[in-house]
Amino acid sequence: MYQGFAYTVLTVVTLASLIPLIYVVSMSLVNEKEWIERGGFILLPHSPTLLAYERLFKGDIFPHALIVSVIRTILGTALMLTMTTIAGYIVSRRALPGRRAMLFAVLITVLFNGGLIPTYLVVRDTHLLDSIWALVIPGLIDSWSVLVIKQFFENIPSELEESAQMDGAGEIVLMIRLMLPMSKPVIAAIGLFTAVFHWNSWFDALIYIKDPHLQPLQLIMRNMFANVNIGSQMNPSSVLNPTQRVSMESLKMAVAVVGTIPILCVYPFIQKHFTKGMFLGAVKG
């Protein structure tokens, strides 16, 4: 009885998670004729078409935004991982004078932040507005991840470290040759989450980037929902045949699909990590 109930509830929740996703994909694949005829309640398109995607990629705005998103994700993740790992290594060195002060500073920033406007003023005054760096530099180091990496480094047996030091390894060699390889899983996991974070971000671009050529995909998508004009340019008025036209709804859903594909691509890798429970360690930490 109880088992049956549990299975039913879980099935309902799973379907509720899944159906809207399928619907979004299906909507992106119909032309205007089918959309009008079938009244927009389409779980499986009868005559699927990639027309909406064609329209998106033919325009100027969308491919540009895609490139900005890719650059910010790669640049942001690479820099963040480098800096955060180094910071984690530094605060894990017990013998290092000054370590406690730095650890304290990191802890403070986990608990408090400067808030929207002061941060905006600093980004403005350091001349980052309207540049890709405005999307990368403010989040250069994630203090929480610093603590997670520190925890990992500290759990590496000190005998390994001592024997490396006997062989004459300095701090840099120790970090790169010993500590990094041993904590590859955490660093990979933090990297994946950071990449997802960068790909998904739009609010920082909303406040820091006014130049339309530097706006990432998520912001363009947000503008598309807030303001109809962007999408309507994508259906040339010369095309009258409804099988060759796509509805605004289909265009919007096509953008949403393109915005999720990278997430779904890295999802299996992310999943591999959270089954190992390292995030839980982090949460409990």
Site for other proteins in 120-179 (CB under 8 A): 120-123, 126, 137-138, 140-141, 170-172
Give which of 126, 271, 136, 123 is closest to 201, Cα–Cα. 136
CB 221 within 8 A of CB 255: yes
Mapping DSSP onto H, E and C, the string for 135-200 reads HCHHHCCCHHHHHHHHHHHHHCCHHHHHHHHHCCCCHHHHHHHHHHHHCHHHHHHHHHHHHHHHHH
User: Which range of residues in 18-26, 47-55, 180-188, 230-238 is near other proteins by CB under 8 A?
Assistant: 18-26
CB 110 within 8 A of CB 144: yes
Residues 187-216 that bind other proteins (CB under 8 A): 196, 199-203, 207
Asked if residue 95 binds other proteins (CB under 8 A), the reply is yes
Site string for other proteins, 51-70 (x = CB under 8 A): --------------------
Of residues 13 and 67, the one with the C-beta less far from other proteins: 13
Of residues 238 and 268, the one with the C-beta less far from other proteins: 268
Residue labelled with tokens 């180094």: 86
CB of 53 to other proteins, least distance (A): 15
Q: What share of the chain is helix, strand, coil (3-state, %, to 5)?
A: 75, 0, 25
Q: Contact with other proteins (CB under 8 A): which of 169, 212, 239, 279?
A: 279
Q: Contact with other proteins (CB under 8 A): which of 104, 263, 272, 285?
A: 263
The sign of the CA dihedral 198, 110, 116, 132 is: negative
Q: Tell me the C-alpha to C-alpha distance, in Å, between residue 66 and each of 201, 247, 252.
A: 13, 22, 15
CB of 175 to other proteins, least distance (A): 9
CB 135 within 8 A of CB 119: no
Asked if residue 117 binds other proteins (CB under 8 A), the reply is yes
Asked if residue 256 binds other proteins (CB under 8 A), the reply is yes
As a whole number of angstroms, the distance between CA 119 and CA 266 comes to 31
Of residues 117 and 240, the one with the C-beta less far from other proteins: 117
Of residues 3 and 237, the one with the C-beta less far from other proteins: 3
As a whole number of angstroms, the distance between CA 121 and CA 201 comes to 20
Q: Contact with other proteins (CB under 8 A): which of 47, 113, 158, 163?
A: 113
Asked if residue 13 binds other proteins (CB under 8 A), the reply is yes
CB of 271 to other proteins, least distance (A): 7
Asked if residue 105 binds other proteins (CB under 8 A), the reply is yes
